[in-house]
Structure 1
C-alpha cells in the first residue's frame, strides 16, 4: 500500500509543476485579452458619450439660432441685419459665430458680408441644403480658406462657426489622451486634431499604412451600417486603437462619425489597476489551488484504503459480474448472475440484452465503449427484473458490475406513466407532445416537411359529464379517443390527450397542408350521427384549432409556441358559432398580447382602486316609483372604455382576480346603500360563482354588511343559474345563511340556464329576473310574450317577485305589465348612472313626481293596486 502512496505523491508533484507552468502562461494570455477587451468596451462607451454630447449640443445651438431668426421675422426685422449687428453677443459654446449670411439654394449661392460665393459643381445640393452641414470655403467655393465650418441653415439664413475649436471642447476633457477625426460616413474628413488637412479621405491614410481593401472594407461595413466599432491598427507609425462612433441628428439626413485615435500603450497603462487586481486574484487562486491539491492528495490516500476495503466487500457480497470483449462478446459471468438467469436463455453477446433507456437512444455496445451505465431488463417467472450495470475497463475488454434495482424501477415506471399519460384515455399527454415537438425542431430534415399540430375540444363536455355521471363520462372520452384514432389510420400522426376533454394531434411529413382539411372533414363526419351511451343520445360538437409548423415564416418558433398557437386557433374556433375549425394566423397572437396587457392593467386596477359602481334603476309600475337599483361595476381606465364590462369580469373570474374586485364592489355598493337608506330603496349586486364558492365568502359579506350598519332588506344578492349545476347543495346552504342575515336573493337571467325549473322549489330566492333576451322580441314574437307571461304566472303562484330586464320602450313596458310583471329595469328609465345622477332620478320619480313611466292599466290591475 505504501508503494502506491509514494507513486501517487510523485505523480501529483510532477503534474502540479506542469499544470502551474501551463496555467501561468494561459493566465498571462487571458489577462492581456481581458484587459484589452475591457479597454475596448471602455473606449466605445466613452466615445458614445461624447457622440451624444455633440449631438445634443448641435441640436441645442441650432435651436437657439432658429429661435433668433424666427423672433426677428415675427418682429418684422431683417434677420441678417440683426444677426450682423449682434454678432458679438450671439454665442455658441462659449465662442461666437464666424459668419452670418443668406443662401440661395436654386442659384447655388451664399452671400456673406455682401460678398456672394458660388458653390462648386462637385459640391452637391445634398452637401449644403440641410439644417446642419459641415464644409470649408475651399471645398465649397474654391477659395483658399481651409477653415472647416459648421453651418446652421434656417430658411434662407445661415450661421457659420469654426468646427475645430467646437469639437475640441468635447474631446480635450477625455480621461485618456487621444487624437480625433470628425468625418462623414462617405469617409470625408471635416476636422482632425492630427491628420494632414490636404488629404480629405480618411481611408487613404489606411491605404498608405499598407492595409488591404478587405481590411478597409471591414471598417466600411461598420460605418455604412451606422454602428460603433473598435479596431487595433498600426496607424501613423504607432500601434493604435481606433474608436468609430456614429453621430446622429434629426436635423440632417447624413450620419457623421467621430473617430478617436488612442495609443495602445497609453490605453493599457490607464488600466494598470485592473492588471494588478487580476494578478492578485491569480495569487489567491494559486494558494487555494495548492491547498486543494494537498487536500485531494489526502483524500485519495484515504480512498486507496477504501478501494481495498471495497474490493474485499465486493468479493464477499457477490454482485452480478460479466466479463466482455471490446466487441461486446461475453467471455464469462459469475455464479450470482448465472443463478439469476436460471433456466432462461443464456447470452453470447451484450447486444442481445434488452435495455431500458428512455432519454438516449444508443445501443448497448455504444454505451459499453463510452463506459456508460445501463439498465438491463430480464423476464424471469413472468416478472420484469431490472439490473443496473456499471461499466469499467479491463485488460482486453470490460467488466460489467450489476445490482438488482427492480424495487426502484417498478416505482419509476408507475410515476413515469402518471407523468406522461392521461389516466382516462391512456393517451400521451402534453409533456410527451412537447418532447415530440422538440424532436421535430431538432431534425432539420423533418422540420422542412409539411408538419401540423391540431387541437380539438369537446363543446359543453361538462354538461355531458353531468348527464352521464363521472364513470360514463370517462367512457365517453375513451370513445371519442377511439374515433379520433380511427380517423388517423392513414395519416402519419400521433394523438395526445392534453387535459380532460382537450386533445391534440401532431402530423409530420404530410404531402401537403391540404391533407389536414381532408382529415377535418373525415373526423367531423364520424361525429355527425348522435352517440348512444347508457341509453342517452348525445349530439357531439367539437371545435378544432390548426397550426401549420412553418418555421421559415416566424422569427422565433419553439415547441411551446407551436402548441400555444394551436390553442389560440382552438379558442378562436370556440368563439365562432358557424366554423368548426380555424387555422392560426398572426393576428391571433396580437389579440392574445392585448389580452395579456389587459390582464396586467386589471391587476394594477385592483391596487389603484380604478373601479366605481354605476346604478340602474328598477321601477315599479304599480307603486309608480323607483324601488331600487342594480349596482354594476365599471372600470374607469380610459384604454378600455369601449370594452364591455363582461370582458374584464370574465377575465377576472378566469384568473381569480374576481375575489379582490368583488370585495371592492361590495364595499362601494354597501356604502351607496347606506347613503340611499333615507330614500327607501334597495340595492342589488351581482355575485360571481367564483366568489360564492370561495371559502369564507359568506362571513366576509356579512361582516361588511354589519360594518356599514345596513337595515335588513336593503341589499339583494343576484346569482345566476349556471354555477348551480356542480355545487347546488353548497350554494343553497350559503344562500340560506344570507337570508337569515337580512339579504334578499334574486335569480338573474332566468330561463337561459340549464334546467332552470328544478331549482325554484329549493332555492331560497325572493325575486326572479326575466332575461333581456325574452324582452327584446316581446313586441313582435308571440313565443317571447308567452314565456314572459308563463314566468310571471309561475312566480306569482310560488309567491316570488318578478323584474323584467332590458325594457327599452313604452310598448314593451305595457306588454310585460299586462303579462303580470310589475317591476322593470332598462333604458326606458335610464342607463346605469353614477350615484349623484341616481339620487336625482329618485327625486324626479319619487319625491317631486316630475317624471313618470306611463303604462296602460286595466281595471283589474287598478283594483289590485
Structure 2
C-alpha cells in the first residue's frame, strides 16, 4: 500500500508538472501572438488617427485659403503676412499652363510629366525640385494650395510637426516616392532606397491599403504603419517605430506574464502534493472497497437509472453465468425499475428457471447521482435436487413457488394440446400482518399451519388442483385444463367451506382469492408474472370489494393502464414543476392563535383539477414517484419552517410508507434540517397507521432515530384501524390526529362522540398531543373545545392556502370567528 501511495504521489505530481509546462508554453505563444497583433492594431489605429487629423487640418486650411484669394489679389496677399496657424504663407501666385508665377514675378516651369498632375490637384506636397525644372537654393518641402489659376504655399516642416509631433514619419506617394522624410537622418527620395524589401509596402500603397509591416531599413529593423491622407490624392502618412522598442513593450508584458505563471506553478505544485495525498487516501479506500465488492460472498451489481448493468462482482458472475452478455437487470430479475428505485428491500424472482435458486432478497442502495448498487441475498436454492423436485416448507409441508414454476413450465412443454383453460388462484389470509403484529410470529406460524391443513383437505376432496405455498404465506392453486366453470366452482366451494371460521383462540380467519386464466397457445407471461397478476387481483378484491374472489381481466388492465398514465403524468409534473405546497392552519384554542400548519400537496394541472390528491398519491405510492414527491414536500416544508422561525410555529408533513422505509431517509431529514438551519422541533412528521402495521419493528427503529434528531412524530388518521391501541403504548410518538370521519357526524352520532371523548382521555393519560381534523362548523368547534380539544384543523379555521396567504393567518384574530 505504501509503495502504491508513493507511485500515486509521483504520477500525480508529474502529471501536474507536465500540464503546467505545456500550459506555460501555450500561454506564452498565445499571448505573444495576441499582444503582437494587439500592439500592431493599436499602432495602425494611431497612424490612422494622425492621418485623419492631418487630412482634417488641410481641409480646413484649404477652405480659409479659398476665402483669402476670393477677397484679395496676389499683390495684396504678398504685401502682408498671412498666418497659417503658428506659421505664415511663403507667398501667393498664379498658375499658368507651363508653370507657376511666384510672388517675385518669376515663372518657374513644371517638369513636363508633372504639369497635369500638379495642376489637376487642389493640394500638393513636395519640394520645388520635385515639381519644377531648374536648380533651387532653398528647396525645402512645401505644401501648395491651388484654386483655379491661383496658388499659395507654405513650409511643410512646421505645419507637420505641429500635428504629428516628435515622431519618425514620412509622407510618401503611392508609387513609393518620399515627399517628406522625417524618419531618417539620411536623405532618401524613394522607399526602395530606404527599405531593403519595399515591394510589399509599395504594392499596398498602389492598392490603397492601410496596413502594418515589420521591415529592414538602413536604420535597422522597423515596425511600419501607413494610411492614406484622404484630402491629398495618392499621398500616405507612414510611421516607423524601432522594432527593438516595440519588442521591449512585449517583453515587459512577458515578464509580468512570467511572474504570474511562476506564481501559478508554485500554487499548483502545492495543490498537486495536497491532491496526491488525498488521492492516496481515496485510492486506499477505493482499493479496499473494490476488493470487498469484488470478492463479497453475495451477488452485487451496479446499475444506472434505466437498469443497465455497469459492474458485476465475482459472485454475481458465477451465479448468473448464463447472463454474461445480458445488459439490463430487469432481463434477469422479475421486477421493474420503479420498484428498485423506491430503495426499499424487496423480494424478486428470477426469469431463468435453470438457475439453482428461486429468487433474491434485494437491497437497492443509491451509490452515486446516477448509479445504484444492488445487494442480493439468494433464497430457495434447488442445489442438487432432481428435475421437478422441490424443497418443502418445513412448517406446512407444502411445495413452494419453485415447484409451481416447474409445473407451469411442464404445462407449456406438453405436446398434447390443452383444450380447456388453465387457472391460477392466489389465496391470502385477510389481515395476516395485523395478527402477526398483535400476537407475534409463533401465533402467526400456528395460524398459517392450521389454514394450510384445512386448505389441503378441501383441495383433496375434488383433486382438481395442486396447492403450493408462497414466501409471504399466501397459497397458490393450479388448475390444469379444468375449464373456467369447474375451476370457479371449486374455488368458491373452498372459500365458502372455509368461511369465517375460528381456527385459533378468539380470532376469525377469512380468505380471499385472486384468479388468472391462461391458455398455453396464447399466454406469453412467465410463471411468476402470472402468479403476480393473480396476486394483484387478490389484493384488489381485499381492498375494494366484499367478494370472495376477483378475476384478473380487462377491468384490472384498464385500472393498471390508468395507473401507468397517472404515473407518467406525475413524472412529467415533477419535471415541469407543476406541484405546489399549500398550508392548512392548525389552531390552538387555548392560546387563541394559529400555532402550526400542515403542508399539503397540490397539482397545478388542469387535467387533474377535479381529482382528489388522495387518488394520485395512491398511484404514486406504487412507484418510485412517491419518493420524488415526498422529497419535494419535505424540503419545501422545512424551508417554510425556516421562514416562519420567528413565529415559533410547527410545520406538519405527511410521510409515505415507502418514503419512511427508504434507505437513508433519516439522513435526508437531517441534511434538510442542516441545509436550512431549522430547529428540529418545528417539524412534525405524520405517518399513517398502515405503515405501522406492515413494518412495526422497523418503524419503531426509524422513529427513534428521527426523534433523536428532535423531530416530532404524530399518527395520522388515528382510530381508523383495528390495531391502533395495540401499538400506541409501544411507538415513540408525540401525538396523533383524530380522523375527520369521527368529526363529520359528531352532531348526530353518539358513537362518534363517545369515541372522541375516549381518545381525548387516552391522550391526556399518555401525555400525547391531539389534533382534531375536519372541523368545518361552529357547533363542532364548540363541542370539541368545551371537552378539552386544544388543536383544531379544518375549513372552520381555514382551508389550505399558499404560503403567503398562510402567513397572513398568523395575524388574524380567529377567535372572533368562533364567537360568531
TM-score (norm 2): 0.48
RCO greater where, 1 or 2, for CA within 8 Å and sep 6 or more? 2
